[in-house]
Chain A
């Protein structure tokens, strides 16, 4: 699997922009998501109330996180779930692998989980002798293709139907020779059916953890979570500690927001609450259930005034509406979480030093905050990360020099006015027919667009002259 690094963001962007079809395939998905979300919000006049309630529910749980974590643990244990704690991604994936090894698992099925990606589960299994089977159709496609996910809701959005045809013909035991999308989905259904039923361990993530019962909630349209979890003997849940809510009644308002914001649908087909191993005489279900509660930077976010980000319910609306994401796609970010939410999360999961370039890849247009179902002030958080990396001097020296020089001028208005006048004279030298096609020090601008020619003198110069004329005339 070729995975980009967040550190090479600039290079990743150039690669992404050079791909001729990337923008088209991204737009196909994000434009639809944008339109459908807008419709869903229009059809739900109470949306503003809902998102305020959603925000409050998350804030409440984050505020009392230690209380709710302890409650969750107590209730999960009471149902027979084995509770594990992991401070880091490495710890978390090691715990999961250890459980699989203890059970001599040969095959594990996984339902899509961004946390699973975050803690590097896919990679960990691929480096072991345990076969990993992704059951979400998109994850299945990118597993066959050897790609990392490019979106948190549609991880395979960068793959075309033609790609899928090739992959399925190569890898499915009973492939279809049709290129119809319905037939392709059937081919995957056939291929995965036996895999579901013969898996040793089912691994899922969780959209919500209910403190009052110790349940974890999965949300899917395919129903692959239940098929992943039910047949095998062992179920392992991996979940970030921020997934907590007090009870199911608190998860419901967030479910209303999640689906509408993600796909524009009013509800996801399968919302299932999983609670421990099968009870005595239950008709089916796993005999053993583990949950791994993962920190991996979340308490650091609490400590660094980034707790608003812990509200995130991973709907992907911010990336669907981001002009930058729409042009560079998910892989360029070099992180499991792309787009605006990813640019805020990644510095905490990785480090700000490695992932500060993404925080600048934003025009501060505010669209992400406008559509966020839990009112996360993403631009404000991104800017606060810029302020942190400024203090730590992570930016390239030339950027710092330019910004600092500008600030030094701007705090001295007389000097600023003088230099503005000089700037106008300088620009005039390079102007032809009202436009500047090239000028030293401005290649960032003139590489891609022309610069309008300024008027002959600055506003302030003209204004002073006008006032002088007026007073001498009077």
Chain B
């Protein structure tokens, strides 16, 4: 591998770990938005992880990463949710989420609410150390390259904030997408500026959120790309919802995993993946 990362140390340690990926058990945390709104992202994740040689399991007793409670300042509510998640996932070798935002919650924020509980703090830290965002996991840990995927047209990429700033997700999706045949990249102006979703923010301050996403939509439309791709269902729902409200039905929003797993043609043809 020759590509550059801003976080070289992390990549290196991951490279050593990844030698016998097939012996490792991967727990997939599908996240609540994917579970309710867009199951195809979950299935795309399974497909890609299996193509990368992983042994994937989806624990059935999973719910939410706890971000709405955490960002509202409800530490006790966050802990109650986190107990569940830690118990469900701590025994896997890796935990993977198709969302930078939810992965960031587990990797960075669980430890915030367990400051005064040493036993749970240790367990939260362990979970944080095995948790990965899907797209960076595929590249950094599995050294995965998408095989034989094709999609006609052009895409632009929205980098979601937590993935980009906290988890160094930037090159990985672009690298994999560059291997998709017939797919052209059109850079997005202000690619890493927040889309205004912000979880509970978008309903608490709906009108500010609206101004922000309207600007994002202008930037997306300016690229004249056929597809808007990203790695977070929250941002995609927000931008796609605004694109549709503004009448830009020609631009389709897809999760990067859906494209890489070859689900795009099916999703674009009919709306149901299953």
Residue numbers of A with Cβ under 8 A of B are: 13-14, 17, 23, 323-324, 327-328, 360-367, 370, 380, 383, 385-391, 395, 399, 403-404, 406-414, 416-417, 420, 423-424, 434-435, 442, 444-445, 447-460, 462-464
Which residue in chain A gives the minimum CB-CB distance to B194? A365
Q: Known contacts A403-B77, A452-B241; is A458 also within 8 Å of B198 by CB? A: no
Q: Known contacts A323-B212, A328-B208; is A411 also within 8 Å of B83 by CB? A: yes
Are A411 and B84 neighbours in the complex by a CB distance under 8 Å? yes
Are B201 and A387 neighbours in the complex by a CB distance under 8 Å? no
User: Which chain B residues in 45-67 approach chain A with CB under 8 Å?
Assistant: 58, 60-64, 66
Does B211 interact with chain A (Cβ within 8 Å)? yes
Chain B facing A: main interface SS: helix
Does B162 interact with chain A (Cβ within 8 Å)? yes
Question: How far in angstroms is the closest Cβ of chain A from B162?
Answer: 7
Contacts of B238 in A (CB 8 A): 449
Are B42 and A17 neighbours in the complex by a CB distance under 8 Å? no
Interface-central residue, B43, B68, B75, B208, by most chain A CB under 10 Å: B208
> Interface with A: B27-35, B136-144, B145-153, B169-177, which one?
B27-35
CA distance A391 to B76 in the complex (A): 10
CA distance A367 to B193 in the complex (A): 8
Which residue in chain B gives the minimum CB-CB distance to A459? B39
Does B72 interact with chain A (Cβ within 8 Å)? yes
Contacts of A14 in B (CB 8 A): 207
Nearest 10 A/B pairs, CB to CB: A363-B198, A444-B203, A386-B73, A407-B77, A390-B73, A449-B241, A459-B39, A448-B210, A365-B194, A365-B161
Which residue in chain A gives the minimum CB-CB distance to B109? A383
Q: Specify which of B34, B80, B198, B210 is in contact with A449 (CB 8 Å cutoff).
A: B210
Interface string of B256-274 (1 = CB under 8 A from A): 0000000000000001111
Are B35 and A460 neighbours in the complex by a CB distance under 8 Å? yes
Contacts of A460 in B (CB 8 A): 30, 35, 58, 60
Interface size on B, residues (CB 8 A): 69
Chain A facing B: main interface SS: helix
Are A449 and B204 neighbours in the complex by a CB distance under 8 Å? no
Are B206 and A444 neighbours in the complex by a CB distance under 8 Å? yes
Q: Known contacts A13-B207, A416-B64, A459-B42; is A450 also within 8 Å of B198 by CB? A: no
CA distance A383 to B112 in the complex (A): 10
Q: Specify which of B62, B71, B211 is in contact with A23 (CB 8 Å cutoff).
A: B211
Q: Known contacts A445-B241, A450-B245, A451-B241; is A390 also within 8 Å of B75 by CB? A: yes
Does B224 interact with chain A (Cβ within 8 Å)? no
Contacts of A386 in B (CB 8 A): 71-73
CA distance A414 to B204 in the complex (A): 28
CA distance A374 to B90 in the complex (A): 35
Contacts of B81 in A (CB 8 A): 407, 410-411
Q: Known contacts A407-B78, A411-B84, A417-B63; is A361 also within 8 Å of B161 by CB? A: no
Are B201 and A456 neighbours in the complex by a CB distance under 8 Å? no
Which residue in chain A gives the minimum CB-CB distance to B201? A363
Are A463 and B201 neighbours in the complex by a CB distance under 8 Å? no
CA distance A361 to B72 in the complex (A): 11
Which residue in chain A gives the minimum CB-CB distance to B193? A323
Q: Beyond the given A390-B73, A410-B66, could you list 5 further A-B residue pairs with CB under 8 A, ordered by the A residue number? A: A391-B73, A403-B77, A450-B241, A452-B38, A457-B39
Which residue in chain B gives the minimum CB-CB distance to A9? B205
9 contacts between A and B (CB under 8 A): A363-B161, A363-B212, A365-B194, A380-B112, A406-B68, A407-B68, A444-B203, A448-B213, A460-B35
Does B244 interact with chain A (Cβ within 8 Å)? yes
Does B230 interact with chain A (Cβ within 8 Å)? no
Q: Known contacts A17-B207, A455-B272; is A403 also within 8 Å of B68 by CB? A: yes
Q: Specify which of A323, A387, A412 is in contact with B194 (CB 8 Å cutoff).
A: A323
Does B26 interact with chain A (Cβ within 8 Å)? no
Q: Specify which of B73, B84, B165 is in contact with A413 (CB 8 Å cutoff).
A: B84
Contacts of B32 in A (CB 8 A): 410, 416, 420
Contacts of B211 in A (CB 8 A): 17, 23, 327
Contacts of B38 in A (CB 8 A): 452, 454-455
Are A361 and B64 neighbours in the complex by a CB distance under 8 Å? no
Contacts of B34 in A (CB 8 A): 459
CA distance A448 to B195 in the complex (A): 14
Question: How far in angstroms is the closest Cβ of chain B from A344?
Answer: 14
Does B40 interact with chain A (Cβ within 8 Å)? yes
Does B2 interact with chain A (Cβ within 8 Å)? no
Contacts of B77 in A (CB 8 A): 403-404, 406-408, 411
CA distance A356 to B221 in the complex (A): 36
Are A455 and B194 neighbours in the complex by a CB distance under 8 Å? no
Are A407 and B74 neighbours in the complex by a CB distance under 8 Å? yes
Are A324 and B208 neighbours in the complex by a CB distance under 8 Å? yes
Which residue in chain B gives the minimum CB-CB distance to A356? B73
Question: How far in angstroms is the closest Cβ of chain A from B213?
Answer: 7
Are A366 and B42 neighbours in the complex by a CB distance under 8 Å? no
CA distance A68 to B11 in the complex (A): 43
Q: Specify which of B36, B194, B205 is in contact with A424 (CB 8 Å cutoff).
A: B36
CA distance A462 to B200 in the complex (A): 28
Question: How far in angstroms is the closest Cβ of chain B from A308?
Answer: 14
